[in-house]
Each structure stands twice: as structure tokens, then as C-alpha cells.
A and B are shown apart, each in its own frame.
Chain A
Amino acid sequence: MNVNALEIIEPRADHVVPDGQRVMDRLQAIVESLLFAAAAPVPLARLVQALDGHDRREVAAAVRRLAETYEREDRGLRVVEVAGGYQIRTVPEHGPWVRRLLGGRPPRLSRPMLETLAIIAYRQPCTRPEIEAIRGVDVDAVLTTLLERRMIRIVGRKEAPGRPILYGTTPEFLEVFGLPDLQALPPLRDLGELADILRATDLSLTPEGVVPTEVEGDGEGHSRATDDPGDGS
């Protein structure tokens, strides 16, 4: 802001920095307007398209600066990356007030819905029998609810007998759970780890019978192979 005598003599050379700064501030403000008005997640490419004349890098930097500004100033909004785009949302801590104002009920997420959704999210595309094999229950009604809520969609049919329908998750799923993409899902507890649990107690049958490597303290009821008058009958 200090007007320097040099500026008057050489305005162009000296104004480069402040001008660039002003352009960036304006760009950040425009991005803020765009994200606010769009409500839905806006992919970077769409922002670049709307901000004709600015390249991808500039726009990305403006989004990043906007996000930093919100955080630094501890504002009630955040710029988050969800479902392949950017979205302005309220901070989670303000949820109760916003909900009271809007009066809506939070979306119902029952355990069957969440479990089914998790299976589809991690295994997609997958079929109804595959989901049922894991959950051990019929999931027809749950699938209908999830389809209605647009959390899942039919993505095709499996080339298998009966050509069962294949399900996958939707962008709405990513949006509801605030995920940028499917890769952002936290990793499942992997099978190696599961195998370790199995090894720890040695499930293999020796010719003498099933003898666990570590014998549990209570020893009653579940001693196998050998006769056990305590249970059975």
C-alpha cells in the first residue's frame, strides 16, 4: 500500500506483485461465489470452465486458499473435497443448530443399511447373493431403500447363471459420507490380519483331535473330541 516514488516512474514492473495478489484475491472470492451457488460438489474442471481465462493451477490454488481462509478465520463453513468436486459445507460442530433451524430429521441410517452399504462400497460391483452371504440375512428390502435414497445404483448384470444384478455406490453416497472418491474409504481390516488371528489360536486339527495351542482357562463345555458329559446330551 505504500506508494513508492519508483512506482510512478516504473508502474508496470512494480505493480506485478500487488496486481497478481489482487487477481488471486478476486479469483478466490469468485470461487467462493461459485461453490456457494452450486451447493452440489463442483469438479475442478467445471470451475476452470466457468472461470474462463484462468488455468487449472490458478483455480486450484484459489480453492486451496479459500479453504485455508475458512479454517484460519475459524469460520462456520469449510471447503471440502467430496464426490470428485469441491463443496462448501457447514462445520460439523454447528450441526445441532443448523438442524434445529431447518427442522428436518437427520437421514435415517439403520445398521442393516450401513452394513449393506459398506459391503457394496468395498466390493462393488456386487450382487445381492454376495451381500447376503456376508450378512447372513435377506437384503432385498434394504437394497430397495438404498436405491430409493440413491445411495446405490444398478451398474449392470453379472455374466453368471441368472445374470444377477450388480450394484454399486453413487456420487450421492460419497457426498453423504464426505468422501472425495472411493479410494478415500478407510482400508478394511485386511485378510492377513484376520489370518493372524486364526493362527494365534491354531485351528488346525491334529490327528488326535482338535487341540488348541492355548487352552482356555474355563476348559468346560467346549473341550472337543474327547467325551464331555458336561454338554451334548
Chain B
Amino acid sequence: MTGGCTVKLEVFEGPLDLLLHLIKRNEVQIADIPIALITDQYLATLEQLPELNLDGAGEYLVMAATLMLIKSRLLLPAEPGADGEVEEDPRAELVQQLLEYQRYREAAERLVDRPVLERDVFRGGGERLGGGSIATDGPPVRDASLGDLLSALREVLARAATPLPHDIFRPGLTVGECAQRILARFALGDGVDFAAFFQPGAERDEIIVTFLALLELIRLRVVRAGQTERFGRITVWLATASLAEAVELARQVTETETETWGRSGEDERQRPRDH
């Protein structure tokens, strides 16, 4: 309906998906997989799969190795256990994994069968879901890469105050504190310009630690940095549902980092107050 022509290829979501497909196609019991047959078909399918990306290929190959291992184990005569105990079927673990995966696939199907908001049912107000979020509003936003962030940092550093030669490190400047300071800016609203995190006239050490804090927050997915065009301005958004949540999360996750970054002189001050 949306125009264009879609060629439906058999695309698999991963090795387990492919295995389940083969099991279904051969109409065999999931708990009693004819390993030799399935392994052969699995390998044959792998060869046909066009241009697997490197990551994807890795996952498929690991499964291929697992299948071949199971197959070879099945060919070996089973050694009776010490007290006649029955040995586990070499397939058991794989079967368990397949069943577990199948379980969630069914759950996913049941989810999508529900009336989905903005697909089947609509709420009032004409307001789009997640109003104000970068995913739905305005021009598409691409994540700013580390390179983008570094060049933005370079600009900020170019405007930095000339460092005083004797003042190497100002006390009390930690990544944890800078992270909280960064998040405080979101109290005024989401979508903060990158440059706004750096106070005019800030010194290099402060800028660097603030930048590290920002990277840390991005890494922990508390915030997201993005831009609407390449080399465009970088804007930072909250990635959590609320600011309070972001602050709590940052406090929790930077606790360990604070210890790492805290300098010896301040260790007393760095200790979490509640312990």
C-alpha cells in the first residue's frame, strides 16, 4: 500500500530463527531434532544467505559449530555413567534454548496481535505518541559520533580561558559532579545545545571533565547526543522517561566512576554520604 515493490526474501533473525524454520519445514519434533539432517540443511542455507554482515555471520557460524559438535557427540557411543546414571542428550541444551526462544516469539506475536496505539487505535488530542521526542518530531536525527563530539569539543576548547600555569587542577571537579551539573540543565527543558554545557570562560580541565561526564552519560544511555545534519549543531536529549530518573541513574552509575576519578586529596569528600 505504501508504494514501491517489496521483494520478500527469506530473512532470518538469527541462527535460532533459522533452526526453528528448518525444524518446522521438516515437520520434526523440536524435542527430537534429527541433528544430521538439520545440520546439513543449516549449512546449505548459510551458503545461500547473501552477504551476511560480519557480526551476523559470527552468530550463524557459532551455531554451525555447535550443531556439528552435537552431531559428532551423537555418533560416539554413549559412556554409561558411574552408577548407571543416564547421560544427558547432547541436544538437550540446544532444545532448551530453542524452546525458550520459541516461547518469547509466541509472546511477541501475541503482543503485535493486540490493538496497537496509532496503528489500530488512536487516542484523543491529535498529539502524536511520545510528543516532543526526537524519534517522532522534526527532521530525522542521527546520533552524533565520537568524531562529531570531539570536533565540537575542539570548538569549545578554542574558546576556553587561557589556563593559569600554576593552577593544574581545581579541587572538587569530578565526572560524577559534572554529570549532575549536565543533567541539571535539563530542568529547563529537553534538547540542550552541546555548547551550553560549557560555561563561558571555563578552563580546560573543567571542559575536559565535563566532556568526559557527557561521554559517560551517553555511554550509559542516560542522554543521547544527536544532530539533524552532518556537521550540524549537536543537541543532547534525555534518554530516560524523566529527569528525576536520569539524575538517580547517573548518581547510581557514576558512584564507581567518582572513586576512579576522585583525586587523593578529596577521597574523604567523595565517599557516598549515606554509608
Contacts and interface: CB of A to CB of B under 8 A. Distances in A.
Contact of B129 (A119, A156, A172): A172
A92 B118 CA distance: 10
A109 B116 contact: yes
B14 to A, nearest CB: 4
A90 B30 contact: no
A107 B103 contact: no
A122 B107 contact: yes
A45 to B, nearest CB: 18
B111 A177 contact: yes
A107 B34 contact: no
Contacts of B76: 225
B171 interface: no
Interface string A97-134: 01100101111010110110111011000000000011
Nearest to B18: A136
Contacts, number: 229
B165 interface: no
Interface in A153-181: 153-154, 156-157, 163, 165, 170-172, 175-179
B220 A224 contact: no
A95 interface: yes
Contacts of A119: 104
Contact of B120 (A92, A153, A216): A92
B75 A165 contact: no
A67 B30 CA distance: 45
A115 B104 CA distance: 6
Contact of B77 (A156, A197, A225): A225
Interface stretch (A8-16, A47-55, A58-66, A143-151): A143-151
Interface string B237-275: 001110001000100110010000000000000000000
B59 interface: yes
Given A95-B119, A189-B103, A137 B31 contact: no
Nearest to B134: A148
B127 A39 contact: yes
A39 B124 contact: yes
A87 B123 contact: yes
A73 interface: no
Interface in B78-108: 78, 80, 84, 86-89, 91-92, 95, 97, 99-101, 103-108
Given A90-B122, A154-B221, A209-B78, A118 B13 contact: no
A136 B116 contact: no
A137 to B, nearest CB: 4
Given A95-B120, A172-B129, A201 B32 contact: yes
Contacts of A176: 116-118, 129
Interface string B181-195: 000000000000000
Nearest to B78: A205
Contacts of A90: 121-123
Given A117-B111, A177-B116, A197 B30 contact: yes
A126 B40 CA distance: 35
Interface size class on chain A is 35 or more
B159 interface: no
B44 to A, nearest CB: 13
Contacts of A153: 240-241, 245
Contact of B104 (A107, A134, A157, A197): A134
A109 B111 CA distance: 10
B4 interface: no
Contacts of B115: 92, 95, 178
B120 A194 contact: no
A2 to B, nearest CB: 39
Given A111-B13, A114-B111, A135-B16, A104 B31 contact: no
Contacts of B100: 134
15 contacts: A39-B124, A105-B2, A114-B111, A117-B108, A136-B101, A138-B56, A154-B222, A157-B253, A172-B129, A175-B117, A204-B88, A205-B89, A206-B78, A209-B78, A231-B37
Interface of B: 2, 13-17, 28-37, 40, 55-56, 59, 63, 71, 74-78, 80, 84, 86-89, 91-92, 95, 97, 99-101, 103-112, 114-130, 133-135, 220-222, 224, 239-241, 245, 249, 252-253, 256
Q: Which 8 residue pairs spanning A and B have beta carbons closest together?
A: A222-B34, A39-B125, A137-B14, A106-B119, A231-B36, A114-B108, A136-B16, A207-B80
